[in-house]
Amino acid sequence: MEFQISITGFVALYIFMLAAFAGWVIIGGVPAILHTPLMSGSNFVHGIVVVGGIFALLNAVTVQEQVIGFFAVLLGAGNAAGGYAVTDRMLAMFQVSAPKKKHAQSGHVKAVQAKKG
> Please, which of residues 81-100 interact with other proteins by CB under 8 A?
81-99
Name which of 115, 38, 116 is nearest 83 in CA terms.
38
Query: Could you say whether residue 104 binds other proteins (CB under 8 A)?
Result: no
Please tell me the distance from the alpha carbon of residue 51 to that of residue 77, in angstroms, as a whole number: 9
Q: Does 117 bind other proteins (CB under 8 A)?
A: no
| Rounded-to-integer distance, Cα 27 and Cα 42, Å | 9
Per CB under 8 A, contacts with other proteins among 16-75 are: 16, 19-24, 26-62, 64-66, 68-75
Question: Does 103 contact other proteins by CB under 8 A?
Answer: no
How big is the site for other proteins, counted in residues (CB under 8 A)? Answer: 89
CB of 108 to other proteins, least distance (A): 14
**Distance (Å, rounded) from C-alpha 7 to C-alpha 14?**
10
